[in-house]
Amino acid sequence: MIDGYNKLYGDWEKRWKNSQEKEQLSLLGRRMFKSKIKSMAEIISDIPVQTVIEVGCGLGYTLDFYCRRGFDCIGIDIAENAVACCKNKGLPVIREDLENIDEKYDLVSSDGMLEHFMDFQPYARHLMRISRNYVLLIQPNHDSFVGKTLVYLSELIKGDKNVFEYNFRINDFITVFSRNGFDVVKNIPVFQDVFRILLFQKRR
Ligand SMILES: C[S@@+](CC[C@H](N)C(=O)[O-])C[C@H]1O[C@@H](n2cnc3c(N)ncnc32)[C@H](O)[C@@H]1O
């Protein structure tokens, strides 16, 4: 485990505690998710992919999207509570740390994980290491007015129920991936630009 992240992992367990019984997306959450999967469906239909790993699959919303589209997919998460919730939903999931994955996948996907690390670069490199061709990230866009406002409101309302997120810019991700041989091939705004879907392809 990369040093100093025990507390963060504890925060995720706490965040997902009891999720199996009562976690539900809010109305806003449902709308955001709907527009996210609409854009993802368009992106995915354009690329040749069979195997998908969803890293940090949480409660399995994004993993469920990949499974329904018929990909050979697996979700991993470090948090036992998240894994139990995905299993309850019948999703293919294992409790594992990204660092310990050795197999390679056509598409490595991660939705809302990197922004929680003070230094996301080691994790970004692991995502690229296990990718045969593509990495897809879904990241909050801290340059968007609506995005910034929603993060601020959510912090005010939910306080430390939220797992802290750093305000990296979309360009930070693009720069780190590019330095490591992955070029951004799609950069799609979602839901008033609150999120960006970034698709990276390995440079040949
Ligand atoms: C914001 S959540 C993802 C939510 C998810 N996209 C969904 O659709 O429900 C981020 C997840 O990343 C997981 N995570 C953090 N570090 C990880 C690591 N090194 N390996 C695997 N999962 C990790 C956390 O436990 C957490 O569940």
Tens digits of residue pLDDT in 130-180:
999 999 999 999 999 888 888 788 878 877 778 889 999 999 999 999 999
Distance 203 CA to ligand 1 centre (A): 27
Assigned token pair, 50: 């069979």
For the segment 84-111, what is each residue's pLDDT rounded down to a tens digit?
Answer: 999 999 999 999 999 999 999 999 999 9
Does the Cβ of 76 fall within 6 Å of ligand 1? Answer: yes
The C-alpha torsion from 86 through 87 and 91 to 95, rounded to 10°, is: 70
* Residue 55 Cβ contacting ligand 1 at under 6 Å: yes
- Cβ of 57 below 6 Å from ligand 1: yes
Q: Which domains does the chain have, with CATH numbers?
A: 6-202 (3.40.50.150)
Q: Determine the distance separating the centroid of ligand 1 and the alpha carbon of 122, expressed in angstroms.
A: 15
Is the C-beta atom of 110 inside 6 A of ligand 1?
Answer: no
**Triad 45, 50, 52: Cα angle to 5°:** 95
Is the pLDDT score of 29 beyond 90? Answer: no
Task: Quote the CA–CA distance of 17 and 14 in Å, as a whole number.
Answer: 5
